[in-house]
Amino acid sequence: MSVKNTFKSERGVYTFDTFKGVDYVHAPGNVSPQRSTDGLNMVRSEVGKVRKRTGYRLDEKQWEGNINGIHFYVTGEGTQCITHCKNTFYIQGEPVWRDANDDFSRSVQIGEYLYIVDGKNFLVYDGESFSSVRDKAYVPVIYAHRTPGGGGQPYEQVNILTDKRKESFISDGQSTEYLLSRQNVGEGPISALILDTNGSATEIKENSGLTVNRAAGIVKFSSPPAASRDGKEDNVYIEYEKAAENAGLSPEGCTVITSFGKGGRRDTLFLSGSKAHPGRQWFSAAGNPYLFGNDSTRIIGGDNSEIVGYSRSEDKLFVHKNAGGISRNIFVLECRGNDENFYSYQVSSAMYGPPAVSKSSFANLINDPLFLTDAGVYAITKSEYRQRYYTQLRSFYINPSLLSAKGRESARAVAFNDFYVIALGRDIYLLDSLQKSFEIDKEYSNFQYEAYHWKIDRQIRLLFVQEGRLCFADTEGRIGRFYTDFLSPACYNDRGQPIAAVWQTGDFKEDTAAKEKSIYRLWAVCDVSLRTSVKAFAQIKGIWKQLFYDDTTCRYFKWSDIQWSKFTWSCDKTPKTVSRSVRIKGVNKTAFRFENDSLNEPFGLSEIGIEYTLGKFYR
């Protein structure tokens, strides 16, 4: 924005040449010239410039029932898309699992396996088939280096996903009775695996080479197992069943899932959000999502409020609870221990702030963990001085619209390119990581993201990104995909309907609203396209009046795409100036509005300018 001061009868020039985002907070007279009081369906094209958003198309297929999740299984050979509709998971339209919960599902991939929770199941997909994680539960060796008479040392935790467990012994080659660490073992079959000095394994089953005294926890072999190769290596592995102390606290039923680990590694699954146990969290063994240790579940911050999501930053995991009010709603976890079989994640501190309200609003925008609350979109940030974490508002400019929307608990968010994108109903809001500003109204936040507001004619149920494209699933079982070619006019329609794009300035009053202004010329520098147009309006004493409509200046000629009704000989593809003489007399303030609502027409703004004079005091 640039200004040339003038006196009466001298004409000055005022230009808006930097465009950031919308401002729904301040009154029009207090809005920065860089922002818009109504910037509907516009988005940053490059820093400081804006353009109309592209439209979307719908997939031909209409799913019968709720689309509850879109998941991606990624390998070096490509990506498989898994659609969760109603109670079935589909791959390329073919059902692959029919016992899903008809509710939202969420997933995390670790290595070559995709793990999914849906409020009923805890599933794993290996690239070919689905199965319950419980069915693949790892059987842990809970004690190692035992002698036939006992002793040894703890090795792995009991797995609450299975009653099965193992103990390993160093055979002396003479003993036939082996004492387990537990008495009153389960009625399930007991077996032993014996390694000889060559490393070959022999399996011996109950009543076929061994007998069991379950009450005493003694396994008796019909003949002594071969001695350990060097007297130090475990060579007898006995497997038996005994219910874990926390066996009733199963992670099935969870609705929230993420990956984390020691030092910020992503090798450990964290599950929560169970209706039966709202405040409880489960975590797997490091690198082994099929082992959930008996001591790896605990209540975080009380069981009367639900865990709704996770955020990550460096080597910290943040657990978000919907405790209500401004209280300790975020708990900071750190990994403790040096043995990966016995890692623990302890609460090191708790943070004040408004609670997260949507399980699907968590996304990391360029290392800024964001989530939706009843006070706006917040981030977790680290103090440079005390090295402590705290929350900061990031959605200041769109809060009035964002917080007036109903159903915030159903909001859906993703990180897309440089934007945090969040959808509520038909409204889509974007926070721009490339444009930040400080607002004195929010002195406890380092910065606010510039924001944009879109509106479409579909009720959005899910947001997701596929192949670099922003996509959504609506409440009618349709999947929509926004176009990515912002240079093509054919991409500027919402399934054949025009997109209404608006950029409206705040009040122009020069230095004061006390003086009369007369405006003699208005112009806009617009992006060129094969087909584009612009309507210009001014607000005169509270009433909007159209000043001009131009549908020729900003077009260029291309033989392969001729539309005779909008023909031009120009081959200039650089931004062009649409300028008109206007007559606005004796106003103390005014605002300007530029629109494009034509089908298949791009629209971009680089500059708005006026020529004006100042007059006497306004009466």
| 3-class SS string, 206-229 | ECEEEEEECCCCEEEECCCCCCCC
* Residues whose CB falls within 8 Å of the CB of residue 123, separated by 6 or more in sequence, listed in order: 97, 115, 116, 117, 130, 131, 132, 133
**Cα angle value 551/555/558 (rounded, 5°):** 135
State the pLDDT at residue 7: 45
* Residues whose CB falls within 8 Å of the CB of residue 179, separated by 6 or more in sequence, listed in order: 146, 148, 149, 150, 217, 218
Per the listing, tokens 């199963």 go with: 250
**Long-range CB contacts (within 8 A, 24+) of 143-147:** 143/167, 143/168, 143/181, 144/168, 144/234, 145/170, 145/234, 146/170, 146/178, 146/179, 146/181, 147/172
Q: How far apart are CA 408 and CA 200, in angstroms?
A: 61
Q: How far apart are CA 117 and CA 271, in angstroms?
A: 8
Q: How far apart are CA 37 and CA 125, in angstroms?
A: 48
> Phi and psi (nearest 5°) for 370?
-115, 155
Higher pLDDT, 406 or 71: 71
State the pLDDT at residue 112: 95
For the chain, domain boundaries: 2-53+500-617, 56-62+258-491, 63-134, 141-241
Is 434 in a helix, a strand, or coil? strand
* Residues whose CB falls within 8 Å of the CB of residue 388, separated by 6 or more in sequence, listed in order: 349, 382
State the pLDDT confidence band at 566, using cuts at 50, 70 and 90: low
pLDDT one-digit tens code per residue, 217-227: 999 999 999 99
pLDDT (mean) for 146-157? 95
pLDDT one-digit tens code per residue, 50-89: 999 999 999 999 999 999 999 999 999 999 999 999 999 9
Q: How far apart are CA 47 and CA 436, in angstroms?
A: 11
Going across the sheet that includes 113-117, the strands are 106-110, 113-117, 122-125, 130-132
pLDDT at 572 exceeding the cut of 70? no
Q: How far apart are CA 486 and CA 422, in angstroms?
A: 21
- Identify the helix (H) or strand (E) that includes residue 370: strand 368-373
Per the listing, tokens 């592995």 go with: 237
Q: For the chain, give the mean pLDDT.
A: 92
Other beta carbons within 10 angstroms of residue 552's beta carbon come to 12
pLDDT at 546 exceeding the cut of 50? yes
Q: How far apart are CA 148 and CA 165, in angstroms?
A: 17
* H-helix segments, 350-467: 399-404
State the pLDDT at residue 337: 83
State the pLDDT confidence band at 564, using cuts at 50, 70 and 90: very low
State the pLDDT at residue 470: 98
Name the least confident of 46-60, 195-209, 601-615.
Answer: 195-209
State the pLDDT confidence band at 527, using cuts at 50, 70 and 90: very high
CA atoms within 13 A on the CB side of 332: 16
State the pLDDT at residue 58: 98
* Residues, the chain: 619
Residue closest to 331 by CA, chosen among 249, 270, 251: 270
Superfamily of domain 2-53+500-617 in CATH is Galactose-binding domain-like (2.60.120.260)
Distances 175 to 106, 148, 198, 203, 352 between C-alpha atoms, Å: 51, 7, 20, 18, 61
State the pLDDT confidence band at 324, using cuts at 50, 70 and 90: low
State the pLDDT at residue 514: 85
- R_g of the chain computed on alpha carbons: 32
State the pLDDT at residue 386: 65
From the number of C-beta atoms within 10 Å of its C-beta (0-12, 13-18, 19+), residue 65 rates as exposed
Other beta carbons within 10 angstroms of residue 54's beta carbon come to 22
State the pLDDT at residue 455: 98
pLDDT (mean) for 403-424? 95
| CATH number of the domain located at residue range(s) 141-241 in this protein | 2.60.40
State the pLDDT at residue 3: 47
pLDDT one-digit tens code per residue, 351-368: 888 899 999 999 999 999
pLDDT (mean) for 169-179? 96
State the pLDDT at residue 325: 60
Q: Which residues pair with 80 in a beta bridge?
A: 73
pLDDT at 432 exceeding the cut of 80? yes
- Identify the helix (H) or strand (E) that includes residue 63: none
pLDDT at 562 exceeding the cut of 70? no
**Long-range CB contacts (within 8 A, 24+) of 425-428:** 425/459, 425/460, 426/455, 426/456, 426/457, 426/458, 426/459, 426/460, 427/401, 427/453, 427/454, 427/455, 428/453, 428/454, 428/455, 428/456, 428/460
Please report, rounded to a whole number, the percentage of residues in the chain having pLDDT higher than 90: 80
Distances 361 to 72, 346, 503 between C-alpha atoms, Å: 18, 25, 28
pLDDT one-digit tens code per residue, 3-41: 444 444 588 999 999 999 999 999 999 999 999 999 999
pLDDT one-digit tens code per residue, 94-135: 999 999 999 999 999 999 999 999 999 999 999 999 999 999
Name the least confident of 67-81, 333-347, 533-547.
Answer: 333-347
pLDDT at 2 exceeding the cut of 60? no
Answer whether 413's CB lies under 8 Å from 421's CB. yes
Architecture of domain 56-62+258-491 in this structure:
7 Propeller (2.130)
State the pLDDT at residue 591: 96
Distances 428 to 54, 126, 362 between C-alpha atoms, Å: 13, 34, 15
